[in-house]
Each structure stands twice: as C-alpha cells, then as structure tokens.
Amino acid sequence: MVQTKEATATEITVRRVAGRIGADVSGIDLSAELDDATVSAIRRELLVHRVLFFRDQDIDHAQHIAFGRHFGDLTRRPGKQHGIAPEGFPEVLSVDRNAEHERYGKDYEERFRRKWVSALAGWHSDLTPAVNPPSMSILRAEKTPPYGGDTQWTNMVAAYEGLSKPLRDFVDTLRAEHAFFTAVNLLHTDPEDREILKMYCDLPQVAIHPVVRVHPETGERALFVSPGSTTRIMGLSQVESRRVLDLLFEHLTSAEYTVRFRWEPGSIAFWDNRSTCHFAPTDFAHYDNERVMHRVTILGDVPVGVDGSVSELVSGEPMAAW
Ligand SMILES: [Fe+2]
C-alpha cells in the first residue's frame, strides 16, 4: 500500500500527458539517494497515471537497479535466460538492435514482424506467460534514433470501464491462456519456423489468467489480455474465442486510451504492467541507427480475478527474484 510521510526532500512536479494515461515527472534526480517520502510519492503517482516519464536522467546500471529496488524485488526471467544483459548486471535486460543482429542475424526481428497475425500483434504486458508477471517495468534509454522508435501505452482500467455493462459482466467471468509467440504465425511447413516451434514445445511457458484482474494495490478492475500473449479464452470454441479477443484487442488499443512517448538519451519510462499494455516501436527498422535501452522489472503477484480466483501455472516456472 502507499505510505504517506510528512516532509519530502524532493518536490516533484507531475503533469498529465494524454487524456487517460501518462504523466511527465520533473524536479527529481534519480542518481541521488531517494528518501521514503519521494519513493512513496512516485508510487502513488504511478498508480494514478499508469506510466510516468522522466527526462535527462544520467544514471548507470547500478543506479537503475537501485531505483527499481525501491519498488520491490527485481525479477529473474523464468526458464532459459533470453535477451542480452550488460556485463556484471544480470538484473538488467538490454534492448539493442545492433547487438541482436550480431547474435541472431540481421533480419531476425523483421522476419517475425512479417509473420504477425495482425497489426496489433506487438501490444503486450510484460511476461504474462508467467503465472506471476512483473508488476512494474522501468525502461531507460541510453542511445536513441534521430527519429522514430516511440513507445505507446494503453490504460487497461479505462479500457475496461469503457466497455458496456453487459460486456463487462461477461468478461468478468472469463479466464484466458497466455504464451510466447502467440501473435506470430509459425508454420510447421517452414523449416526455420520449425526450429522455433520445437524450442517452444520443449520449453513452454504458459499461464492462465483472469481476463479481468483486480489491481492488488488499488482494487480497480483492469482488462488483462493482450494481442501479443493471449492465445485463447478458456471454455469458448476457437471461433468464439477469436471474435471475443479481437473485439477486446481493438477496443483496448483505441487511441483514446493511449499515450505515445518520444525517447531521448536519459529518458526513463516507469509503468504498471497490471493496468497497462504497451507497444514496442517498429518504425525505425528501415534505416541504420543506434537504439540502446535497458529495463528492470519488479516481481509481481499472482493475478486475482473479480471472483477471487487466481491465475494458474500451466507450464514452465514462476518468475523468481534476483
Ligand atoms: Fe515489453
């Protein structure tokens, strides 16, 4: 829960950005030691605005980790460690297109994008194939392209509240399966796809979550499905499931619930995965540039639905703390 303390050494200024989500936070230096009152204030603002944006923060990996630890334990990814971590900082996941090209080949990402089953396929909440997905993520930009590469977030509480009452009542009762590579049409007839399918069949990471989760800190109801990770609604036929999910995906990505952030070196976005989805950019892949980002994620709870039922682990391991 949010703690309140009297005096705060830091007077932060919070300015809303979009109509329903996002706020710029200024008047704070994240390289300095933060007092409890400031940490509480940031947490409180995060719960209100869902995603907070900080600019011109000159912090290194250790300071990034220290900032994250104010909000909980940092997550260790389940199963085989994916991604690239900076030397000596396994808690950090680095996103570096050029390093990925070296490791996986030049057109790795582009190849998957061409297999997306819809234009919304990139929207996701972090690591929902785990039974206890991270509560929060903190992404820091080190190098940014001169143009393109913005990230978008959507407010899943507002999207839930924007549904009509009969539909809210219906989705309140549903549960859905989450897995990696959901929105990529991998074909068993394609030899390269077969390698990836084999890897995901050997090491599946699958969880079933409520379609509407109750936020553990605010008690709000939020949609908890995303085009990038939700495979199907349990108990419905494939056709029914597809239609209901498509309706929800179109709705939750409506522009009115979203905010878009332009990155610069030293920018930080801090978001609540329990009440948002985000969309990784794809509009800078067509030209040479450098974009290096670093992320830490905060260990989350097992989601709870409207009726009090909790998520189930189907396959794989829960996320653990570092
Ligand atoms: Fe993400």
Q: pLDDT tens across 265-300, in order?
A: 999 999 999 999 999 888 998 899 999 999 999 999
Closest Cα partner for 80 from 300, 293, 317, 273? 317
- Provide the token pair at 291: 């974009």
Yes or no: say if 275 and 156 are a contact pair by the CB < 8 Å rule: yes
pLDDT at 151 over 70: yes
- Provide the token pair at 298: 């905060």
Cα–Cα distance for residue pair 271/188, rounded to 1 Å: 36
Question: Ligand 1 centroid to 165 CA: how many Å?
Answer: 30
**pLDDT for the residue 104:** 74
Question: Ligand 1 centroid to 191 CA: how many Å?
Answer: 28
Active-site option among 221, 274, 278, 294:
278
Does 115 fall in a domain?
Answer: yes
Q: How confident is the model at residue 48 (pLDDT cuts 50, 70, 90)?
A: very high
Integer-rounded Cα radius of gyration of the chain: 19
Yes or no: say if 223 and 160 are a contact pair by the CB < 8 Å rule: yes
Question: Ligand 1 centroid to 245 CA: how many Å?
Answer: 20
**pLDDT for the residue 98:** 80
**pLDDT for the residue 82:** 60
Question: Ligand 1 centroid to 5 CA: how many Å?
Answer: 33
Yes or no: say if 299 and 73 are a contact pair by the CB < 8 Å rule: yes
Consecutive H or E run containing 279: strand 276-279
Mean predicted confidence (pLDDT) in 74-83: 70
Mean predicted confidence (pLDDT) in 95-118: 81
Does 7 fall in a domain?
Answer: no
pLDDT at 114 over 70: yes
Does 181 fall in a domain?
Answer: yes
Q: Which residues, chain by chain, have CB under 5 Å from ion ligand 1? A: 126
**pLDDT for the residue 127:** 95
Yes or no: say if 292 and 143 are a contact pair by the CB < 8 Å rule: yes
Other beta carbons within 10 angstroms of residue 99's beta carbon come to 13
Question: Ligand 1 centroid to 295 CA: how many Å?
Answer: 9
CA dihedral 99, 258, 226, 270 (to 10 degrees): 50
Mean predicted confidence (pLDDT) in 242-271: 98
Question: Ligand 1 centroid to 259 CA: how many Å?
Answer: 15
Question: Ligand 1 centroid to 137 CA: how many Å?
Answer: 8
Does 8 fall in a domain?
Answer: no
Does 161 fall in a domain?
Answer: yes
Does 274 fall in a domain?
Answer: yes
Mean predicted confidence (pLDDT) in 217-241: 98
**pLDDT for the residue 259:** 98
**pLDDT for the residue 255:** 98
> Could you tell me the strand order of the sheet in which 276-279 lies?
123-124, 276-279, 151-155, 258-261
Mean predicted confidence (pLDDT) in 93-111: 79
Q: Number of folded domains in the chain?
A: 1
Cα–Cα distance for residue pair 24/42, rounded to 1 Å: 11
**pLDDT for the residue 7:** 44
Choose the weakest-confidence range: 37-51, 79-93, 203-217. Answer: 79-93
Give 167-198 pLDDT, tens digit per residue: 999 999 999 999 998 999 999 999 988 988 88
The amino acid at 87: E
Helix, strand, coil abundance in the chain, percent, nearest 5: 25, 25, 50
- Enclosing domain of residue 60: 13-317
**pLDDT for the residue 76:** 87
Q: Please give the distance of CA 69 from its chain centroid, rounded to a whole number.
A: 18
pLDDT at 55 over 90: yes
Known active-site residue 70: no
Cα–Cα distance for residue pair 211/307, rounded to 1 Å: 11
Yes or no: say if 294 and 86 are a contact pair by the CB < 8 Å rule: yes
**pLDDT for the residue 78:** 59
Does 5 fall in a domain?
Answer: no
Ranges of H-type helices in the chain? 36-49, 61-69, 97-104, 108-113, 156-161, 165-171, 191-202, 238-252
Active-site option among 20, 77, 97, 124:
124
Mean predicted confidence (pLDDT) in 190-214: 92
Cα–Cα distance for residue pair 204/246, rounded to 1 Å: 24
pLDDT at 231 over 80: yes
**pLDDT for the residue 102:** 77
Q: How confident is the model at residue 10 (pLDDT cuts 50, 70, 90)?
A: low
Give me the percent of the chain exceeding a pLDDT of 90: 80
| CATH for 26 | 3.60.130.10
Cα–Cα distance for residue pair 287/150, rounded to 1 Å: 15
Q: How confident is the model at residue 5 (pLDDT cuts 50, 70, 90)?
A: very low
Question: Ligand 1 centroid to 278 CA: how many Å?
Answer: 6
Q: Is 44 exposed, middle or buried (0-12, 13-18, 19+ CB in 10 A)?
A: middle
Mean predicted confidence (pLDDT) in 61-81: 87
**pLDDT for the residue 79:** 55
Active-site option among 126, 140, 193, 209:
126
Other beta carbons within 10 angstroms of residue 96's beta carbon come to 19
Known active-site residue 295: yes
Does 6 fall in a domain?
Answer: no
Residue 16 CB contacts under 8 Å (≥ 6 apart), including other chains: 22, 23, 49
> What is the pLDDT of the chain when averaged over all its residues?
92
Known active-site residue 278: yes
Known active-site residue 126: yes
Residue 190 CB contacts under 8 Å (≥ 6 apart), including other chains: none
**pLDDT for the residue 199:** 84
pLDDT at 80 over 60: no
